Structure 1
């Protein structure tokens, strides 16, 4: 059956007008609006109360506050640092500290350090708690705008309000509060935009689309897991454009306008926002760290040269390497380590027993200094340099690498390396360097290294500081000096990088950069031409962040299995956070977790059953028509305009359609925030589940709204429904609240005496699973 849009509009108007003639709707609408505002105000108060309760207890560093507290101090002191997360979240925490008067002097060295006598710590926690409190009204508004169901919106707010783990994560100085907020705000922006689809290119349509894009940009500035909500919005956008592309009455120009509007607001706006936040980050941080472990090797020389206090900041030094020069060698691989040695030996249990360690160190250190020696001649001057005209190290030369502080030379063994078994061992061979007269020596063949310049040969002036990429190949073993990417054990190797000899000379890990040259007998030159520009630094920063993130591997099988993703939805394990005379455990509300899991199983069934019933019923009556106006498609059920269709049935159908549509997108959002963790080969923790948990709570709210607003009224008489529905609602909310009251002290924390003992625990009677650590 084909009908025109005007005829359809006339019919819809007549049905609506008849429904509105019953009278009393104005009073009902005003009463419902008043209820809406009262509920919103109530949940704002509850959210603030639950988040700010015991916010100063313990007044010590808790869990990852030790991590992000340091970074806030570095921002306030303008000290450049490396982190695997983007910059916006840390800048926001720094803003809280700055507004609260914090001066960045607390060390945040480790958990349990007290905050006494430090100003501005509590305002940072309060800022996080305020953002965490905003999750509750935001969830309420999002579900309301998605479903127009007060039952669903109220349920969503209650579940977020009384979720214990969310409270714990949003009252400390962490990135989780802004991450959770901007993820939910991004989804809210998507809902607002969806509700404006009937008026394309209107002002509210543009504002909604821009708001969604800005929230996406903000969430990507917090953590890269924000990509998951980007995928949700991207999937919706692709689906929406696909439907528009199939509309025969939509002109190509109008379709392209829709496409470009989305590109502008959902791609360009977030990208500009992200780059702007990075620019602020870089503008603030311009000093280098002066402490050990500065991770300087992660940055290219051109990057380091612009950090005040860095040894190569505005450096002037010899341009080319000559024999006798003292140099530092940095591996050319991304985040490459410095060649390093010290007075420690490999363990007696290995084939390298009692041999001096040669390692890779990530920061500048005096033990990174090596002297370039002729293959068979020692320096003859009193300052350990060669006399006569300087001789430059060229492509194909053989050299020895002498470690000046341990008086040893780098040697290659035919034995396997300790960590990377297909590589050869590198160690320090003791060597007494003569400094008073020239001595001809017969070096061991495994201490000689052939210099291979990657772009060489370059003649006599071969190895250029900061520019040349050089390989050191041991002709005796036929392998190249390399960084294996593995780390030595902390117990004897201090966690340093493993230096090996690699037969595969094509790998970038066999290339080295001469970063610093010390030779008072050579003229110095500047290297300002090597300083990198803004976009080069932007690209390099993200390369480094990606590389470091990929190396966050589990360090122990037990740690890795304790927090596997399949455990999260059922709350099979908890996560101990703090246990120094006060115990805090990251733990969810069991009732919420288990109800969510049940409703996750129910939701797909509701979708299938509803779609089957609605399509079959409409098709049997021949009532489905798809019409289009202003570039938007409408699927309308055609009815004869006899006035017999009641307003109640009409609203019932539209409510069901909204609820079902909400289920689709909330299910997608949940799985996109949960399933990817099964494929991550990195450390995963319980707190990674909470963005998915919040979507699960909203999904549960929609299903519950469907049950009490649609399913039960269809199956019960009005009299029974007036009794059963309030009873079910009260029982549902009561279970959630009672579970919160029973377990909330686990998340808020409680005083302990001595170490945790599961048999004498205060909460042993409510510990339903042995893996719950409280």
Structure 2
């Protein structure tokens, strides 16, 4: 499965192509050097005509009625909004890399859009808000249309017959899911196109393997790297494409070390050159391009915006008009403050109610005063920050700054009690510590140490003053070294379903971050409220990049909440459910994201057939039965196997993910399954029958090892150089069967596409009977009644 194998396609009537007996499967370049091909073979006009027709159809199916609906649809609320933020230069945060979103911003810039509309709600009108939405949608439609001829070119460059190439491209051309995802302001069209280009470029690179380090060899190697960079710069699932190409390259490099290979093994210095060239072209160059898009991202987004909250104060100080920097004030001892959790936005809160004697699991609590997280502003959110060595608050002088590393106490103003943590299990987390409060006499007596907390400012310097809003910190309990923490699961009714506050033993966890939101005790005329105009600071690129990467991966992993249209990987190949994108009650129109069931089921079936063929071939070889000739087996394992590896690499890893998953995650794998389908269709209907007859004859009348030729048992065949060949009549009959199979497949696929067309294009509206007729597997369609 090292790489796609290529061969001279069959089926050229009245054309004789002599293949040297010594040539191995895939040695197309050697064949072309030693053989004078007829002019018709060189031009391959039938492929070019088919490519032109397929390309035109791809543009028609993607662009027809692209202006409908003229409203915000599904995730256009995200990616349209991001394009507007780019044009406004307003900082935002997203879990995907910037390349695909930058393309939308580029299109908006081309048409003179200023980014005034923020795509807030599904159903918002583009017309009334004067948004050039057709231009935005044209970008993914263009890339989606180009994907179809790219699939055809992959099959063509891999040496497959015209029917096989047409079937593979047709499965993508007439697939409702690929069409639906490329007609909207979404990232998947960019991802799938870049993924298909990476495969095509690698096939072209592999075909140049007999001319290493030539100009064309370098060109296709570098273009493969550029395409791979575009994949991973659009979505991080692009790493699956790196695995696909990387696996093929690794096996190819392993073959270069084989002393039995044609031409002998490479010397270690020569092998080192091959390894270094691939490392530069497929790792270094893609990574540099990948970093470049982040540099563009940071260079454009220079103004404060909704993404500020995801970044550290140091990062936010690099943005103009940052509210955090503008509103922050230094915190002094004896200030009254409210403390807010950065991630959940809940306030540190307490009230007179106490923890119950026993929890639901039977554990006994301290019955202390409840300390909880509360989402709204309330007088019970106010705490007075005091020095840790205080004994008598009445004799202390204000004006001393709270600094990084200080040990403090927090006095709850309403109940006049002090925050405390101790070695008692919290309500929901038996491994975490309970937070409660105690009275002043206990706080200065036997519980003194338990009320001490260390202020640890994130990325703070020694002696740095704690500031409101911008000063993110962890509150570390002095005796037990746990960090104050909260989460989203609400407590039972006895705590009014407020959030649990507990002590987290993993103090390095990023969700332990809090900040002082306000300091209401400062008089309005206080000099502390006078703020100097601050200059925008700078940070090195790699510091900003690493911080953003951490935030992206953290929030990507946090996407675990349920969604009504989420689905599991086991459902995707069988197309068990889709996603509702848009509905309009007045016209009963809807866009329902769904693939072409005929095409998906066929492709999924042939994936299983391929695995079965490989298993049967392995078993037959174990039993001494060689059912395939060497050329056919090499092609099946290497070329079709490469496509199957591509499918597996883009599909199986999703089983390991715990985040939200949707049907569109299967689109790259579906494209790979279309390649497998085309290749396997050729194998099934164009299988060399002579090879089978030779093997049957060999089983019945074995030839001695030194015999120069096998016995002939096939009518309509003859020997050429010790090899059995198929006569033109046999070849034409095989090609006719293949065209017939291709015709049947495409007819069924086009029928499925047309039947589900109203759900893909959003028009015309369907009556209940028509809707129910399309609920083949219980798809949750609207307007079924």
User: Which TM-score applies when normalising by structure 2?
Assistant: 0.75
Q: Which residue of 2 aligns with 1:73?
A: 84
1:324 equivalent to 2:334? Answer: yes
* Residue from 277, 282, 288 that aligns with 2:304: 288
- 1:259-658 map, 5 Å: 259-289=275-305, 294=306, 296-313=308-325, 318=330, 321-325=331-335, 340=347, 358-359=373-374, 371-373=384-386, 390=400, 397-401=407-411, 411=419, 420=429, 422-423=431-432, 449-452=451-454, 471-473=475-477, 480=482, 482-486=484-488, 488=490, 498=499, 500-502=501-503, 504=505, 506=507, 508=509, 520=526, 532-555=539-562, 563-581=567-585, 582-607=589-614, 657-658=634-635
The alpha carbon displacement at 1:474 in A equals: 8.4
How big is each residue's C-alpha offset from its partner over 1:229-267, in whole Å with a ceiling of 9 and x where there is no partner? 000111111111111123454122111110110111111
The alpha carbon displacement at 1:347 in A equals: 14
Farther off after superposition, 168-177 or 364-373: 364-373
- 1:685-704 map, 5 Å: 685-704=662-681
The alpha carbon displacement at 1:288 in A equals: 1.4
The alpha carbon displacement at 1:327 in A equals: 5.8
Q: Which residue of 2 aligns with 1:35?
A: 46
Equivalent residue pairs, number:
693
Counterpart of 1:60 in 2: which secondary structure? coil
CA contact (8 A) 2:350 2:381 kept: no
How big is each residue's C-alpha offset from its partner over 1:10-57, in whole Å with a ceiling of 9 and x where there is no partner? xx99x9799968xxx635426x62211111110111101111122111
> For 1:266 and 1:602, how far apart are their aligned partners in 2?
32
> For 1:713 and 1:160, how far apart are their aligned partners in 2?
34
Counterpart of 1:90 in 2: which secondary structure? helix
> For 1:338 and 1:728, how far apart are their aligned partners in 2?
60
* Residue from 66, 70, 87 that aligns with 1:59: 70
> For 1:411 and 1:606, how far apart are their aligned partners in 2?
69
Q: Which residue of 2 aligns with 1:763?
A: 771
> For 2:464 and 2:180, how far apart are their aligned partners in 1?
59
> For 1:316 and 1:731, how far apart are their aligned partners in 2?
70
CA contact (8 A) 2:408 2:455 kept: no
- Inter-CA distance 16–286: structure 2 relative to 1 (3 Å threshold): closer
Q: Which residue of 2 aligns with 1:252?
A: 268
* Residue from 215, 220, 223 that aligns with 1:203: 215
1:183 equivalent to 2:160? Answer: no
Counterpart of 1:147 in 2: which secondary structure? coil
1:92 equivalent to 2:103? Answer: yes
> For 1:179 and 1:489, how far apart are their aligned partners in 2?
42
* Residue from 144, 147, 160 that aligns with 2:159: 147
CA contact (8 A) 2:97 2:236 kept: yes
Runs of at least 5 residues in structure 1 that lack an aligned partner in the other structure: 1-5, 381-385, 432-439, 621-648
Q: Which residue of 1 aligns with 2:707?
A: none
How big is each residue's C-alpha offset from its partner over 1:48-72, in whole Å with a ceiling of 9 and x where there is no partner? 1111122111111111111111111
- Inter-CA distance 203–424: structure 2 relative to 1 (3 Å threshold): same
Runs of at least 5 residues in structure 2 that lack an aligned partner in the other structure: 1-19, 360-366, 693-728
1:673 equivalent to 2:650? Answer: yes
> For 2:153 and 2:77, how far apart are their aligned partners in 1?
35
CA contact (8 A) 1:377 1:441 kept: no
How big is each residue's C-alpha offset from its partner over 1:277-331, in whole Å with a ceiling of 9 and x where there is no partner? 0000000111112xxxx4544322211111112234489854xx53134667576
> For 1:368 and 1:214, how far apart are their aligned partners in 2?
53
User: Which TM-score applies when normalising by structure 1?
Assistant: 0.76
- Inter-CA distance 516–157: structure 2 relative to 1 (3 Å threshold): same
